[in-house]
């Protein structure tokens, strides 16, 4: 089966970026140039550029063109995406280390977040998500056992907690709190960062129709990660 043209264009651009031929902030060919090069429509070329922009590989500036984005990995503030998909969409290798998967008693903060009584048993997982072998996100997640009873039986080297929870307890609502923090010794060791490295922390609660499913702490090295978004307003 032939590879779609937009996918060919995406791979062409990713190869140029990955090889270092196109450095960060370098201008990439326009839609017209790509359409001519790959003998396709401008719409097809636009799709390739748009998808790479949304995944953080490229950045577009109105009236100036499209450029290779900075080296930090980027996620959207307004979307809940699977970290594995984000990394793969950038054309990079994804890997994960599962450090803990157990049952714990919920402290006050966790119990409140999950809508349970303090001291209730909840499921707890710790994973390190890596991009090109380098830690990008430390994920600590507390899960409501009443809604996801089989959570501790999963192998998260095969699918991420986000993927699994999306299947068994489809997301209906999420809330974020984002702040800059200083990682503790254990977190720094897991992320392989120095004591002076600032981190970006996302606290996320997710709901299904049955109630609060999970409360997650997502910690990212500041030098490797950034958040971005794009809003369109109707006049």
User: Which CATH architecture best describes the domain 73-227?
Assistant: 3-Layer(aba) Sandwich (3.40)
| H, E, C per residue of 4-23 | CHHHHHHHHHHHHHHHCCCC
The torsion angles phi and psi of 12, rounded to 5 degrees, stand at -60, -50
Encode pLDDT of 116-142 as tens digits.
898 999 999 999 999 999 999 999 999
The predicted pLDDT at position 159 comes to 93
pLDDT, average across residues 165-176 = 87
pTM of the prediction?
0.69
- Rounded-to-integer distance, Cα 177 and Cα 188, Å: 21
- Of the pLDDT bands very low, low, confident and very high (cuts 50, 70, 90), residue 173 is confident
Three-class secondary structure of residue 55 per DSSP: coil
| H, E, C per residue of 194-216 | CCCCEEEEEEEEEEECCEEEEEE
The predicted pLDDT at position 75 comes to 55
Encode pLDDT of 83-101 as tens digits.
898 888 888 899 999 999 9
The position carrying tokens 């998808």 is: 51
Encode pLDDT of 99-110 as tens digits.
999 999 999 989
Domain extent listing, the chain: 5-68, 73-227
User: Which CATH architecture best describes the domain 5-68?
Assistant: Orthogonal Bundle (1.10)
């Amino acid at each position: 089966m032939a590879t779609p043209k937009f996918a060919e264009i995406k791979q062409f651009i990713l190869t140029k970026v990955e090889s270092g031929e196109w450095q960060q902030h370098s201008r990439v060919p326009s839609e017209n140039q790509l359409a001519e090069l790959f003998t396709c429509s401008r719409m097809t070329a636009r799709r390739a550029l748009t998808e790479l922009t949304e995944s953080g590989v490229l950045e577009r500036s109105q009236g100036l063109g499209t450029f290779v984005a900075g080296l930090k990995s980027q996620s959207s503030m307004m979307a809940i995406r699977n970290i594995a998909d984000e990394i793969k969409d950038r054309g990079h290798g994804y890997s994960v280390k599962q450090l803990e998967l157990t049952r714990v008693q919920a402290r006050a903060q966790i119990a409140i977040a999950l809508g349970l009584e303090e001291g209730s048993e909840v499921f707890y997982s710790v994973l390190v998500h890596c991009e090109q072998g380098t830690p990008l996100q430390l994920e600590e997640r507390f899960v409501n056992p009443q809604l996801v009873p089989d959570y501790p039986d999963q192998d998260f080297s095969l699918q991420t907690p986000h993927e699994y929870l999306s299947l068994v307890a489809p997301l209906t609502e999420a809330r974020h709190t984002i702040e800059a923090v200083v990682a503790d010794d254990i977190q720094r060791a897991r992320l392989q960062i120095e004591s002076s490295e600032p981190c970006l922390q996302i606290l996320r609660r997710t709901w299904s129709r049955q109630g609060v499913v999970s409360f997650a702490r997502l910690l990212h090295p500041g030098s490797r990660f950034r958040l971005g978004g794009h809003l369109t307003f109707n006049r």
